[in-house]
């Protein structure tokens, strides 16, 4: 098995990596900050202490939010078969974190050690649930116009009826399109969009209350509940973990 190229990058806020693909699979571990991976299918967001996976030959591009440190691990094709055929994000076990850090610390490894560590990384991933903050993108022009408006301003309070009136579709039609094209309700999609933006604001150091307002929640309590349900921890705990990782 060929040894894989590994390494670490530091990205500044807003730094983008142009569309590209890899002959091998790629794991990106976000030790700090927030990393977004975008394809024609949508956007996957990897907050700090998550690992994003991109299959071989899958065109994508990245953008960093806040100061973002990533560890890069490339997987040879023969190790990719059991992993998802689409980009995704996983929670990180303690063992997987240490394996990635070992593979990316820049020190030379004894012959064969790198290949064995890659197998351990894959074994760990196969036992971990996907934890994707995945926001799908539509194809229908009316739905694209509606979601584009919300991308531009996640705090926009427009109802589905108001959005439909703006894009020339009935509430019922838009509701059906959200289910058919995006696999979720309008409320679920907008909540996920707002949580993605919240991750960025929190990584930039905004307060929980300020983030709730910027992202369109009526009060901090409803924001905390929605964020915790999707991310798995409260906004305060998530932000606290960022500060620890950046010390």
- For residue 73, the SS3 value is strand
The pTM of the whole model exceeds 0.85:
no
pLDDT at 132 over 80: no
For 195-228, how does the pLDDT look when each residue is reduced to its tens digit (9 = 90+)?
999 998 998 889 999 999 999 999 999 999 999 9
- DSSP 8-state code for residue 78: G
Give pLDDT tens digits for 20-66: 999 999 999 988 888 999 988 888 888 888 899 999 999 999 999 88
Q: Which residues contact 40 (CB under 8 A, 6 or more apart)?
A: 59, 137
Query: What gap in Å lies between CA 146 and CA 138, rounded to an integer?
Result: 10
Q: What pLDDT, in 10s, does the model give residues 165-201?
A: 999 999 999 999 999 999 999 999 999 999 999 998 9
């Amino acid at each position: 098995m060929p040894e894989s190229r590994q390494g670490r990058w530091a990205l500044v806020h807003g730094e983008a990596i142009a569309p590209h693909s890899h002959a091998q699979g790629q794991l990106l571990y976000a030790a700090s900050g927030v990393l977004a991976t975008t394809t024609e299918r949508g956007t996957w967001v990897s907050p700090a202490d998550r690992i994003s996976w991109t299959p071989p030959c899958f065109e994508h591009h990245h953008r960093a939010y806040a100061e973002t440190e990533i560890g890069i691990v490339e997987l040879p094709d023969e190790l990719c078969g059991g992993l998802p055929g689409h980009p995704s994000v996983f929670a990180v076990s303690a063992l997987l974190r240490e394996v990635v850090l070992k593979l990316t610390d820049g020190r030379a490894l004894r012959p064969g050690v790198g290949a064995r560590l890659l197998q351990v990384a894959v074994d760990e991933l196969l036992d971990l649930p996907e934890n994707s903050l995945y926001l799908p993108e539509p194809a229908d022009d009316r739905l694209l116009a509606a979601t584009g408006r919300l991308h531009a301003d996640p705090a926009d309070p427009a109802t589905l009826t108001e959005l439909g009136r703006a894009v020339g579709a009935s509430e019922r039609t838009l509701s059906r399109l959200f289910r058919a094209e995006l696999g979720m309700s309008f409320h679920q999609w907008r909540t996920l969009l707002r949580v993605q933006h919240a991750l960025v604001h929190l990584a930039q150091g905004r307060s929980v209350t300020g983030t709730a307002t910027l992202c369109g929640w009526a009060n901090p309590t409803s924001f905390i509940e929605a964020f915790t349900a999707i991310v798995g921890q409260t906004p305060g705990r998530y932000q606290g973990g960022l500060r620890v990782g950046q010390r």
